[in-house]
Structure 1
Amino acid sequence: MQNHYTVLIIDDCLEDRNTYCRYLQKDDECNYQFLEQEYGKDGLEACKQVQPDIILLDYMLPDINGLEFIQELQSCCKDTSPPIIMLTGEGSEKIAVQAMKYGVEDYLVKANTTAKILRLTVRNVIEKKNLQQKLEVSKRRFFTSVENMFDCFGIYVCIRDDNGRITGFHREYLNAAAWENELIGLEEHGSQEEEELFKEYCQVIETGKSFLKEVLCFSNHNNQQVLSKAYDVSISKLENGFVATWRDITKRKISEQALQESQHLIQRIADTTPDILYLFDLEEQRNIYINRQVQQRLGYSPLLIKKMGADLFKNLVHPDDFQRLKNHLKKFASIKDGEILPFEYRIRDIQNQWHWFSSRDTVFTRSSDGKPQQLLGVVREITAQKQSEEALRESEARFRYIYESNMLGIMFWKTNGKVIDANARFLEIIGYSREDLQAGLIRWDEFTPPEWKEVDREAIEQIKNNRVCHPFEKEYIRKDGSRVPIVLGACLLENSINTGVSFVIDITERKRIEKERAQLLISEREAREQAEAANLAKDDFVAMVSHDLRSPLNAILGWSQILRSSSKDEAIKNRGAEIIERNAKAQDALIQDLLDISRIIRGRLQLQMIPVKLESILNNAIDSAYPVAIAKNIHLESEVDSNINNMLGDAKRLQQVVDNLLSNAVKFTPESGHIKVNLRKIENNAQIKVIDTGSGISKELLPLIFERFHQGSNIETKQQGLGLGLAIARHLVELHNGKITAESRGEGKGTTFTVILPLQ
């Protein structure tokens, strides 16, 4: 919901006025109505007639300046003067200071005022005005309220000496009640009570922490301290002073003291009994009195019990016992004086825990017509007794449930080896029947394997010494001769020295899982080792990329500097240009490999499939490799079947594969070596072989050469490159539904790469 405000714009520039209107009309939170004036006098007249919510005032007006306008506005409007934002064409710190002294809410320079700044400034000034108005109304209401208070209310300001120390308090405001009953302790010196209060007032000023307390003043009467005055005082810090509320509670405190003294003797007697003592009103259905033992037992103070009134039973008595208690109370209508009725029930303590109690109640007083009016009762807690009884029942029920549920095997035995009873689960574990058990054919010492006899003897010895043995693992021989792994725990029955019970759990499944887990741990360790190897390969790759990309760049930069300083030497120019071109191409090839492998990893490498003649691709690759082979005196031989039909493929990518294989052969073949390239048809496939007499590949490295970033382990023979070429070649061949393999008899024994591509 938008708020509606009237804005008076006083500015002799029409363009500026239109700008302000346009800026403010875009405010989503406020709806503005605009009044516009060019002259200051007209603006004053408009203020008298309309009462705008805010004024946008130009400092330089044709008739008067902004400061003169403010003076006249304050003179004629006084307290109703609207807030002003002054705008000026050029910022002046002096004018800004003067404007603020005259009461301007904000000062803006036109050139720096954006739509957002103007909207925020106008909105903040209006909100500030609204808050000030609300504060003034609240202040008037506050002082009107405190004047009508029955309690005393006062505002006090600190009196300090030259060192800033508080020496007293000045009365700034007192309501009518406070003038009649002045607060004490306002001066540094006085009675002991007054001096203590003065220090506490000072503490409130210094710390800002309020206090609420009863102030008791005593006088000496016959060598005894007698209460003469009592106050209930609340003090809170207020700026350089404090605000106080207080009331005279002298009469109430004197009455309370008299009542306390009269009750003290009775209370001491009641509190000495270890049980809960209470007096209950049957007509009002509430406790008239209860001793302090209720707080020790249940956590409720006697006062809180009294405050519960008729809701006492509904709040505290267990729902299952509530109706029984009501029936119990009805019985007192027919009993005689001195007759005692017992009752057991549950009550909830302050922590929401239930306690069992046993009460003994009798009639204490009767009404004029002889009906029982009040009951006197004594309550003793019996929670521990009830818990013991319930625990025994639950224990028996749990054991019976476990025994009959067949969740685990249970057998009763004699130390001589005889099994005297067992549940169905135990018989299932050992493979015997109930008839076998009843015939006395089951003995625990007979279905224990020989290698576990010693463990059984140690368990029996432990049971004799401690009446219990800790669970341990062993095996049983089933009736069919098979073995079953188990966990067994045993103990002697209560009051017996040769009869016990054992709990038996079949752990066949757990053993199987442990075996599987061990295998998984081995697999996980192998996977971790592979991951660590992959991380190491990545680190090597980063180092390799840094080196291989920097090497041609260093050559390019170096020859660029040489050419710049030797521009007249034509031979150096030609050589430098050749080296720069060669290294740029090398760097381009490295980058292209990185782009290809990135596309492969992301699955974005696309093929442009057209009919391709493999003979042309091999001839192109041989032509490209021939100069380098001749330079190394390598014999390059080819054997190409020209009758092979065209295949459907990406000519550029297939050329990339063959170029890579042939360039690798030239690169890794030493001088005077031999390279042979074959292309032949095998059934419906084309086979390309590149055979060299180069450095070969070790059997450890051979399975890894088509992986990314693997180039070889011999640093002395490592060639320039990222080790991506063969990985790219494998992926390109597989995209053509082909296969690439490598063979080598070992290092120094050459390598053969074979590519199989389908022709259909």
Structure 2
Amino acid sequence: MDKNSPIAPEALIEKLNNAIASTIYIYDLNEGLLSWMNHYGQATYGYTLDEIRKMGKEYQIRTVHPEDLLGLANLMDRIRDLKDGEALTLEYRLKNREGNTHWVSDRITVCSRNDKGEATAFLGVASEIDQRKAHEETLQKSIDKLNFSLSAANMGMWEWKVGSTDVTWDKRMYQIHGLKEGENIAATLLKVMAPEDLENARTKIKESLAEKKDLYLSYKIRLKNDEVHHIRCYGKIINENQMYGVAWDSTEEVMTEHQISEARAKLISATKMAALGEMSGGIAHEINNPLTVIQARSFQLLQMVDSGKVDNAKVRQAADSISRTADKIARIIKSLRSFAREGTHDPFELAPIRQIIEETLEFCRQRFYNHGIEIELSEIDPDLEIECRLIQIEQVLLNLLNNSFDAIQDLEDKWIKISVKDFEKNIEIHVTDSGRGIDPKIAEQIMMPFFTTKEVGKGTGLGLSISAGILRSHGGQLMLKKDSPHTTFVMQLPKWQKEN
């Protein structure tokens, strides 16, 4: 130290000793006892240096947590091998005079050697780390809960160093993909992942990185036993260089979704077949009437041929009548075929609103006429179109018309009105019948699956639920107009579908 320093070395050491909020001590390796401890350590643990020395080797047994004694004993052997300038750090628990336990981090270095260079004493600086340990314990509990949740959900965790092939998986990730721990992840994924999914995965990852958004990914893998499994993956960008995420085997989930889809299709088919059964009499009448016209016109032509008196004007008139009637039958058959199809996978196409409504009415007009139900159709712009799955929209409209039929067929005043409202981006098809509305309590449940107000055997309770689902798949919705004096359902649909 500089001899011109205003503070003597001993005084400076004393000031530093008093300023440092850590326990500083010297341990004599030959005696196996503490030879010195600063005031902070004595005050913190409640023992004077004389009391500590009188306890001898029992000091450690009294003050060190039993679970940490072995670690301290092993430390003594390691200290003797320390070179000058090297240090050891150990964390353990100490009890003070009142019996309160505190975590300390102890940094130890050799401070004295004998003539042979053997360590004879070491200097220790012990700092309390209770707060840090409490944070670590809380963090560990959170990690344990997370691992338990991931284990229960059979999820694996992964980490990726962006822009490299450096991918880290936990044990469950290897299990999910049917791989052995330590296998080359990137190379093996190229082999087991479906080629079409591999290209999609690359695209999704690029989008996630470019747009700084979370990654959602699904792909198929072929295990070593040739089983195909579906994997779903979620990732989050932590910083520019790291992405973390989870993955899980969703095979059962995908299969369940497939089964639900099949069951839904069967329910739709059953519902439609029930409707066809209800309308069968009207359909037969719709076809029989034009067939009668065709038969009469054909008989008229045959009579002219047999009598040898062929009137060109009458022949043309009869032929035109047969042609128009055949067209009408064709439209009825087309509607029937369309209604029998499900249409879920049909492409979206532009269709005139008037065509949708008129084709649907062709299917049920006669049935309604036979029961004295009047149908009123408002004026519709022939150029007004929507992008839709035509068959599905006709099915929804027909379902609403059938529901109206069931609701009003026993009323004295029986009518159904169909009107169209044109907005900038949407259109609305209003189906109003002469019924006096729906009870508010029933209205809250009417769109729920299997809810029905019809008698047992006359309804599945699926019509409105399925119809609402079809409109949602089009980006629209099915609504009950609650402020209408009569029962009014509204089909709201966008004019154009958003680009996928």
TM-score (norm 1): 0.20
TM-score with structure 2 length normalisation? 0.28
Structure with bigger RCO (C-alpha 8 Å, 6+ apart): 2
